[in-house]
C-alpha cells in the first residue's frame, strides 16, 4: 500500500526560510519539511534547532537539511533566497542581484524532476515570480508569489486596531505591486459586513483622525519600520507562506492576495502582481475580479505598469 505524504522544500535558510520551516512544523501542515541553503552548515543548524522542538509539537514532522534532489517528490518548493537589502530604497532595486540567484536555483530544482507548485517569496517578488515561471515552464497556476498577502494582513491589523475588532470580521485586500505602488480598493473593504468608508462617514466624531491615505502609507512603510527596528522581517511573511502552503496541501479553496499571472483580468496582460485568488491543491484555481472604481482601476493599472517596466529589465543584469 502506498501512503502519499505531504512534503515542502524551502530554498533559503535565512530568517524568512528558517522561520517558515518552523511555522510549518508548529502548524503541522506537512509531513516533511526540507531546508536547502548554499551555506549547508547554516541549514543544518536550523534543522537541528527545529528538531529539538519536536517533542513539544502537535505532529512529528520529519525535518531535514536537504539537497536539490529532495525537490523530486516535493508537493511545494518555497523559494526565499534573495539578495539582502543593503542600502536599497526599494525592493525593485534588488532585481539584478536576485535574478542571478533565481537563475541558479530554478534549473537545479527542475533537474530534480519537481512537478509541484512553486511559491516565490524572494524580492522583488512579483518580478521574480514571473522569472520562475519563465525558467520552469510551469503553467501559471503552479507558480505563485506571496504578492500582497502580507500587506493585506497589515491593513486588516490596522483597521482592527482602529475599530477594536477581531481581524476575522474584516474583509480587505491590498492589490498590485509588493512595494511602493501597491493600492487598496477601499470600495471593497468591509468591517463586520459594512463598507469601511461608510463606517467612517457615519461616525465622524469617533473616527475623526482616520485618513485612508495615511492608512495606505502605514501599510506601505510597515516592512521598512520592522527592518529599521530589528534588521529583518520574518514572522509575518512566514505566517503568510504557511497560510498559502496550508491552502494548497489541504485543498482549502481559500482566498489570498497572491502574486498571480494576469492574462486579461483587470485589463492587464503578462504581469504577475497581487490580486485576490482562490488557492487550492492546484495552486491558483481562479483570480477574483473586483468591480473597481475608475480611480482604483487607474491606481491598479499604474502599479501593473511599474511591474511591466521592470519585467523588461530581466536578462540585462
Give the DSSP per-residue string, 37-51: -SSHHHHHHHHHHHH
Task: Please tell me what DSSP assigns to residue 175.
Answer: B
pLDDT of residue 3: 55
pLDDT of residue 122: 96
Residue 38 reports pLDDT greater than 90? yes
Confidence of residue 313 (pLDDT cuts 50, 70, 90): confident
Chain length of the chain: 317
Q: Can you read off the three cell numbers belonging to residue 69?
A: 534532489
Q: How many alpha carbons fall within 13 Å on the CB side of residue 31?
A: 9
What are the tens digits of pLDDT across the range 175-203?
999 999 999 999 999 999 999 999 999 99
pLDDT of residue 89: 64
In which residue ranges of the chain is CATH 3.90.110.10 found?
Answer: 149-311
Domain covering 149-311: architecture: Alpha-Beta Complex (3.90)
pTM: 0.96
Question: Per the CATH hierarchy, to which homologous superfamily does domain 7-145 belong?
Answer: NAD(P)-binding Rossmann-like Domain (3.40.50.720)
Confidence of residue 99 (pLDDT cuts 50, 70, 90): very high
Closest CA to 217 of 170, 191, 182: 182
Residue with cell 494582513: 153
Q: Catalytic residue numbers?
A: 178
Amino acid at each position: 500500500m502506498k501512503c502519499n505524504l505531504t512534503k515542502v522544500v524551502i530554498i533559503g535558510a535565512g530568517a524568512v526560510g528558517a522561520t517558515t520551516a518552523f511555522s510549518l512544523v508548529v502548524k503541522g501542515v506537512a509531513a516533511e519539511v526540507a531546508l536547502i541553503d548554499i551555506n549547508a552548515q547554516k541549514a543544518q543548524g536550523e534543522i537541528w534547532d527545529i528538531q529539538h522542538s519536536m517533542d513539544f509539537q502537535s505532529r512529528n514532522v520529519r525535518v531535514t537539511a536537504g539537497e536539490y534532489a529532495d525537490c523530486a517528490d516535493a508537493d511545494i518548493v518555497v523559494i526565499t533566497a534573495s539578495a539582502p537589502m543593503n542600502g536599497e530604497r526599494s525592493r525593485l532595486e534588488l532585481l539584478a542581484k536576485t535574478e542571478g540567484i533565481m537563475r541558479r536555483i530554478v534549473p537545479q530544482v527542475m533537474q530534480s524532476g519537481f512537478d509541484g507548485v512553486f511559491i516565490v517569496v524572494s524580492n522583488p517578488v512579483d518580478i521574480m515570480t514571473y522569472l520562475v515561471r519563465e525558467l520552469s515552464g510551469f503553467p501559471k497556476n503552479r507558480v505563485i508569489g506571496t504578492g500582497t498577502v502580507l500587506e493585506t494582513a497589515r491593513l486588516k491589523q490596522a483597521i482592527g486596531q482602529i475599530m477594536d475588532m477581531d481581524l476575522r470580521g474584516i474583509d480587505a485586500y491590498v492589490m498590485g505591486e509588493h512595494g511602493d505602488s501597491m493600492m487598496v480598493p477601499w470600495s471593497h473593504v468591509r468591517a463586520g459586513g459594512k463598507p469601511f468608508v461608510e463606517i467612517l462617514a457615519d461616525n465622524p466624531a469617533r473616527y475623526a483622525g482616520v485618513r485612508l491615505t495615511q492608512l495606505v502609507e502605514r501599510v506601505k512603510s510597515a516592512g521598512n519600520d520592522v527592518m529599521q527596528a530589528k534588521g529583518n522581517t520574518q514572522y509575518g511573511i512566514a505566517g503568510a507562506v504557511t497560510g498559502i502552503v496550508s491552502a494548497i496541501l489541504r485543498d482549502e479553496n481559500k482566498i489570498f492576495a497572491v502574486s498571480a499571472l494576469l492574462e486579461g483580468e483587470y485589463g492587464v496582460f503578462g504581469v504577475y502582481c497581487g490580486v485576490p485568488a482562490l488557492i487550492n491543491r492546484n495552486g491558483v484555481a481562479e483570480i477574483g475580479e473586483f468591480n473597481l472604481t475608475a480611480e482604483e482601476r487607474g491606481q491598479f493599472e499604474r502599479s501593473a505598469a511599474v511591474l511591466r517596466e521592470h519585467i523588461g529589465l530581466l536578462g540585462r543584469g
